[in-house]
């Protein structure tokens, strides 16, 4: 099959189904411009198929399949956005950016405050919270009941939290998440 025959084949199928494709895309695309772009993309893909397109049993189904995939790709690439007010844009540009979340920034302050806790509190927090040991495993390893272990862990966490709030000036947002802090050495 020559290039002219391929072009004729694609053109014939295109003329037969272009209106239907356009209607299909108009109903689903965001605007007239994107509809025209998608229609052109479908035509180009048909042309690129060359002899393969001409050997299809149902070119209409193939064209609609390509059009639907083009719509899906366009939707994936579309990123909704809203314009920022000048005030907000300026405040965002002036604000220092940190790659780490505020709670992650507490690591240095956490170390100092852990060291300030008594040995028993430090041991249970290190084992259960930092090393991932279960309360049951900690209880067994230290000849304690599970209830006693949970109670000790709860009290140790409470003391660490109070120390962090006092010594690191930790503040929480409305949802209870750490929003900010100012480290200072423990008293």
pLDDT, residue 160, reads 86
Same-domain pairing of 102 and 172: yes
Name residues of the chain where pLDDT drops below 70: 1, 79-82, 84, 89, 91-106, 108, 178, 181-187
**149 near 124, Cβ under 8 Å?**
yes
User: Can you read off the two tokens belonging to residue 137?
Assistant: 């495993």
pLDDT, residue 155, reads 95
Same-domain pairing of 70 and 104: no
pLDDT, residue 152, reads 94
Query: Is 90 within a domain?
Result: no
Which residues sit opposite 172 in a β-bridge? Answer: 178
Question: Can you tell me the distance from the alpha carbon of 128 to that of 20, in angstroms, rounded to the nearest whole number?
Answer: 65
Same-domain pairing of 10 and 65: yes
pLDDT, residue 179, reads 72
- Model pLDDT for residues 111-152, shown as the tens digit of each residue: 788 888 899 999 998 899 888 899 999 999 999 999 999 999
Residues in CB range of 126: below 8 A, 6 or more apart = 114
pLDDT, residue 103, reads 62
pTM over 0.85: no
pLDDT, residue 5, reads 82
CATH number of residue 159's parent domain: 1.10.10.10
* Helix or strand holding residue 148 (H, E): helix 146-168
Domain extent, residue 11, equals: 3-78
Query: Structurally, how many domains does the chain consist of?
Result: 2
């Amino acid at each position: 099959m020559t290039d002219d025959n391929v072009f004729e084949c694609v053109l014939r199928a295109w003329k037969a189904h272009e209106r239907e494709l356009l209607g299909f895309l108009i109903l689903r695309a965001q605007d007239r411009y994107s509809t025209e772009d998608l229609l052109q993309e479908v035509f180009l893909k048909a042309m690129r198929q060359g002899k393969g397109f001409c050997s299809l049993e149902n070119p209409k189904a193939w064209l609609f399949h390509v059009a639907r995939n083009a719509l899906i790709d366009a939707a994936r690439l579309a990123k909704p956005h809203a314009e920022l007010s000048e005030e907000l844009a300026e405040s965002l540009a002036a604000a220092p950016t940190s790659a780490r979340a505020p709670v992650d920034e507490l690591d240095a302050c956490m170390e100092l405050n852990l060291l300030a806790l008594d040995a028993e509190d430090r041991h249970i927090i290190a084992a259960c919270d930092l090393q991932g040991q279960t309360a049951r495993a900690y209880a067994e390893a230290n000849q304690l009941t599970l209830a006693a272990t949970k109670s000790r862990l709860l009290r140790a966490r409470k003391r660490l939290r109070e120390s962090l709030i006092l010594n690191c000036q930790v503040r929480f947002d409305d949802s209870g998440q750490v929003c900010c802090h100012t480290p200072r050495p423990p008293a």
